[in-house]
């Protein structure tokens, strides 16, 4: 399975693995490919700076651990992803999540997320 980790799933994978469902943990360990969108560290940096999220280590360290522990590969934002955002119905208002959905759709990735709205976009989901 080729996975794209939602921001909270990526954070939990390295900080609180027990917060993930057993299904998500198994999917991550057995994944053929794990992608971490640049959207996720961007979201963590912004929310941390605004005081909406307390991180106990740097975003850089979180990304490095995802790389080291799960061979997570970075997924850049492309023009195709941005254009796909414009095609999405308005199920979700969060711009970070909308971009993650667009990336999953364009790249054919399964999302690991607790956000039930992602499935409304026709994206395959493993419940985090």
Predicted structure pTM score: 0.95
Give how far Cα 75 sits from Cα of 36, 49, 50, 120, Å: 6, 23, 24, 22
Per-residue pLDDT, 78: 98
Per-residue pLDDT, 92: 83
Averaged over 112-119, what is the pLDDT? 94
* pLDDT 10s digits, 83-108: 999 999 988 889 999 999 999 999 99
Strand order in the sheet with 110-113: 73-75, 33-37, 2-5, 110-113, 125-127
* pLDDT 10s digits, 25-40: 999 999 999 999 999 9
Per-residue pLDDT, 93: 87
Averaged over 59-81, what is the pLDDT? 97
Looking at per-residue confidence, does 116 or 31 come out higher? Answer: 31
Averaged over 36-57, what is the pLDDT? 96
Could you give the domains of the chain? 2-127 (3.40.50.1010)
């Amino acid at each position: 399975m080729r996975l794209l980790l939602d921001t909270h799933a990526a954070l939990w994978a390295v900080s609180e693995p027990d917060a993930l469902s057993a299904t998500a943990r198994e999917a991550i360990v057995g994944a053929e490919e794990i992608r971490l969108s640049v959207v996720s560290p961007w979201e963590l940096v912004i929310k941390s700076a605004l005081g909406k999220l307390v991180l106990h280590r740097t975003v850089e360290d979180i990304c490095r651990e995802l790389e080291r522990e799960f061979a997570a590969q970075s997924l850049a934002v492309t023009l195709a992803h941005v254009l796909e955002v414009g095609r999405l119905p308005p199920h979700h208002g969060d711009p970070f999540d909308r971009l993650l959905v667009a990336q999953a759709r364009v790249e054919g990735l399964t999302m690991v997320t607790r956000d039930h709205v992602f499935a409304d976009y026709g994206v395959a989901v493993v419940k985090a």
